[in-house]
Structure 1
Amino acid sequence: MRVLAITKIFPNSLEPLSSPFNRQQFGELAKLCDLTVLAAIPYVPLAQRTGLPERAAKLAVLPEREVVAGIETHYVRQLYVPRVGIPVALPLYLASLWPFRTLAKQSDIVLGTWAYPDGCAATVFARSLGKPSVVKVHGSDLNVVAKMPAARSYMRRILPRTDALVSVARPLSQLLEGLGARPGSIHLVRNGVDTSLFRPRDRGACRDELGIGREGSLIVFCGRLEPQKGLAELLAAFDQVRAVRSDVRLALLGDGVSRDEVRERVSRMNGALIAPGARPLREIATWVGACDLFTLPSHNEGTPNVVLEALASGRPVVGSDVGGIPDCLADPCSGLVVPARDAGALARALLEALDRTWDPDAIVRAGPGSWKESARALHDVLVSTVNARR
């Protein structure tokens, strides 16, 4: 079976750490079928000459195609209009896809990942060529983007017309039904983890490997350093935690718009706050192994893979009650759920979790499966969709 995947959430040689969840699932999916990826990157005329927008200028030098994670990847120069964005994203995306219609004709099915504009564009593109389509949704595409009137209007008209939909969490399946999708067309395929990396490990040995010392308790956060990830609430909560337990440290793994604020805090916290920036997946696994507690107090989420990875590592999680996080932490042995945007509640939960004795084996049992299992479930949806069309 030949599958053509269309998505903007995929790494490239200039952003190798981007979207590791898609890279890992696609890497396993490619072992089950003939997979080609059309990776959309923003294209703005003169961006390379002017340097603006910054990301479009940076990615302008990418070649027409690369091999990423062993997968043939073609770059779609997605036409983008700064400060207009959402209302014109779909027609511009479709225009950018048209040069790749031969690839689509040679495929048995088109897979779009990210609801808008990628999934909507994949559906329209596939239908124009008589091909079946499947759209996979991830979280913020429904929790955030679908609340924008222009995007929601397109989603309501197009997503119910795709052959099948894949959701990574039950709350997202319910949102798809709210957009008019038939319940029978929605398939729950949970994300997996790389179980060769994320597994229970000796905490002290991991800390020695990182060179951070074995003393005290360590809380780890991994994600973009930005307000939407609950960073302000986490920093405020950490101040409250430190007032009660001065031996606790916090490691913020990631990069983003709040990095300067984080660096300023690091400089005045005497080693209590650690911010090593964005790290490769293998090192993230070591940080998770080194921690006593993982936290993700986001304002919006789908099913965040960092939470699944922490559970697979036998580490308890304190997460906010948004998206698929409560679904991940449904078993009380796996962690605590707190209201989003509430620094006080977050501080109390962090202290409670640090004081509790957790069973790593029970946490692992409550956690996710492997990426191999996840990819096989996605492959089954693709095969059944192709067979149904035939």
Structure 2
Amino acid sequence: MRLLLISKRSPQQRDLIERPYGRFHHIAAELASRGHEVQVLLCSHRSLPSSRIRIANVDWLSSDVRTLGIGSFLRELNQYAAEFEPDWIVGMSDIYYGWIASRIGRAMGARVAIDAYDNYEAYMPWNLPLHLLWRRSIRTADLVTAAGPQLAQRLQSHRRDGHPVEVIPMAADPEFRPLDKQACRRVLGLPAERHLIGYVGSWGRNRGTAMLIDAFRRARALRPDLQLVLSGKPPPEALAEPGILCTGYLSDAQMPNLINALDVACVVTADTSFGRYSYPAKLCEAMACNVPVVATNTEPVSWMLAGDADHLVHHGDAAGFAERMLDLLDRPRAEYGPRPTWNMHSKQFEHLLITLSRQ
């Protein structure tokens, strides 16, 4: 098959040309490895020049709406698609690209698939016209896939004639695997003998990170040797808390070391229009490394953890979160069962495309 994927160039703040990762890269690369011709149109708004590069047997073509202007930008995408003559056009990574995939697919007579890993409507709740275009794209697409059953159920309400939304879950990238804890601590300069809790997600008032700091404070009152490791640029109030260690921004290659250096990894999501459909990649990564996890009990996170109460705490329950942190400290490793991979998910996606192509 000839497969054309359309995505933003930098989903989750990672440039797919400079820092390939996740479902955006690995599904395309795995499909190409099985003999399909794959191109990916990457869309940006950073005043970048148009470019073409080949990575993992996939042609990655980049267009920038600020550089070209909206009219020339859409014409360039149409031109790329017309030259490639795809059997399928797949919109990924954002609400815009579902609409663009649908638009180009109708013009070319190609089949259209849309893949969603988040509730994109939560990003811009005020942009109702764009939401209507997104829902129309979902309704008319030949195939819709979602990162989990909760999101699939939400998208199902927009489908035409009850065509099912299929689940293609999140997975950890291949570099996330169990590594020696002490070796990882030495690489990162982290204390060898302390108990280390870690959080590597985003910060925000509506995310529940204030609860995380409260929980750590409670846990440290009982275990004074406990330290909380943060990466990136946490807010000043977090850095001011006693017992906090901040690594700053780490390279992609160092992130598996950080996860494996931890005694317990924390995953915090909120009961919001975004959090109720969020399937955190950081949870996949910790599970792939067999690191014990304590996580807020949203439906998607509970589904990812198979409802295991040893790892789940109600959102906002700082005391319960602290108790679960301390309970998990004594587990050297966690066993989550066989973990899904991007290879497995791409085979599932390929099967869906082939099956629908024959109908």
Into which bin does the TM-score normalised by the smaller protein fall?
Answer: 0.7 to 0.9
Alignment of 1:108-119 (within 5 A): 108-119=87-98
The aligned residue for residue 245 of structure 1 is: 223
1:186 aligns with 2:189: no
1:78 aligns with 2:94: no
Q: Alpha carbons of 1:178 and 1:353: their partners in 2 closer, same or farther (altered >3 Å)? A: farther
What are the Cα deviations for residues 163-183 of structure 1, in whole angstroms up to 9, with x where unaligned?
A: 000111111111111234555
Q: Alpha carbons of 1:224 and 1:359: their partners in 2 closer, same or farther (altered >3 Å)? A: closer
- Name the CA distance, whole Å, in 2 between partners of 1:376 and 1:166: 14
- Name the CA distance, whole Å, in 2 between partners of 1:327 and 1:284: 24
Give the structure with the higher percent helix.
1
- Name the CA distance, whole Å, in 1 between partners of 2:161 and 2:225: 52
1:103 aligns with 2:105: no
1:17 and 1:280 in contact (8 A); partners too: no
TM-score (normalised: structure 2): 0.84
The alignment partner of 2:247 has SS state of strand
The aligned residue for residue 353 of structure 1 is: 328
1:289 aligns with 2:291: no
Q: Alpha carbons of 1:187 and 1:63: their partners in 2 closer, same or farther (altered >3 Å)? A: same
The alignment partner of 1:30 has SS state of helix
- Name the CA distance, whole Å, in 1 between partners of 2:61 and 2:5: 10
Query: Which structure 2 residue ranges, 5 or more long, are not aligned?
Result: none
1:36 aligns with 2:11: no
2:33 and 2:57 in contact (8 A); partners too: no
1:370 aligns with 2:345: no
Q: Alpha carbons of 1:352 and 1:27: their partners in 2 closer, same or farther (altered >3 Å)? A: same
Q: Alpha carbons of 1:282 and 1:29: their partners in 2 closer, same or farther (altered >3 Å)? A: farther
- Name the CA distance, whole Å, in 1 between partners of 2:160 and 2:278: 18
Look up the equivalent residue of 2:192 and give its one-letter code. R
Q: 343-352 or 102-111, which moves further after superposition?
A: 343-352
The alignment partner of 2:33 has SS state of coil
The alignment partner of 1:76 has SS state of strand
Q: Alpha carbons of 1:321 and 1:10: their partners in 2 closer, same or farther (altered >3 Å)? A: same
- Name the CA distance, whole Å, in 2 between partners of 1:279 and 1:73: 26
Q: Matched residues, percent identical?
A: 22
What are the Cα deviations for residues 311-344 of structure 1, in whole angstroms up to 9, with x where unaligned?
A: 11111222223362111111528x5222334444
2:41 and 2:61 in contact (8 A); partners too: yes
The aligned residue for residue 217 of structure 1 is: 195
CA drift of 1:15 comes to 7.7
1:174 aligns with 2:153: yes
Match of 1:277 among 248, 268, 275: 248
Match of 2:311 among 322, 336, 339: 336
CA drift of 1:131 comes to 0.7
Look up the equivalent residue of 1:353 and give its one-letter code. L
- Name the CA distance, whole Å, in 2 between partners of 1:63 and 1:151: 25
The aligned residue for residue 45 of structure 1 is: none
Match of 1:317 among 261, 280, 293: 293
Look up the equivalent residue of 1:72 and give its one-letter code. D
Query: For the aligned residues, what is the CA RMSD?
Result: 3.0
What are the Cα deviations for residues 115-145 of structure 1, in whole angstroms up to 9, with x where unaligned?
A: 5121122112211211101000001425555
The alignment partner of 2:230 has SS state of strand
Look up the equivalent residue of 2:327 and give its one-letter code. E
CA drift of 1:63 comes to 4.2
- Name the CA distance, whole Å, in 2 between partners of 1:342 and 1:349: 11
Q: Alpha carbons of 1:171 and 1:95: their partners in 2 closer, same or farther (altered >3 Å)? A: farther
The alignment partner of 1:40 has SS state of strand
- Name the CA distance, whole Å, in 2 between partners of 1:288 and 1:162: 38
Query: Which structure 1 residue ranges, 5 or more long, are not aligned?
Result: 43-58, 81-91
What are the Cα deviations for residues 66-110 of structure 1, in whole angstroms up to 9, with x where unaligned?
A: 345553222232369xxxxxxxxxxx9787333222332311110
Q: 118-127 or 273-282, which moves further after superposition?
A: 273-282
- Name the CA distance, whole Å, in 2 between partners of 1:182 and 1:18: 37
1:190 and 1:374 in contact (8 A); partners too: yes
Look up the equivalent residue of 1:330 and give its one-letter code. A
- Name the CA distance, whole Å, in 1 between partners of 2:101 and 2:71: 8
Look up the equivalent residue of 1:16 and give its one-letter code. E
Q: Alpha carbons of 1:358 and 1:279: their partners in 2 closer, same or farther (altered >3 Å)? A: same
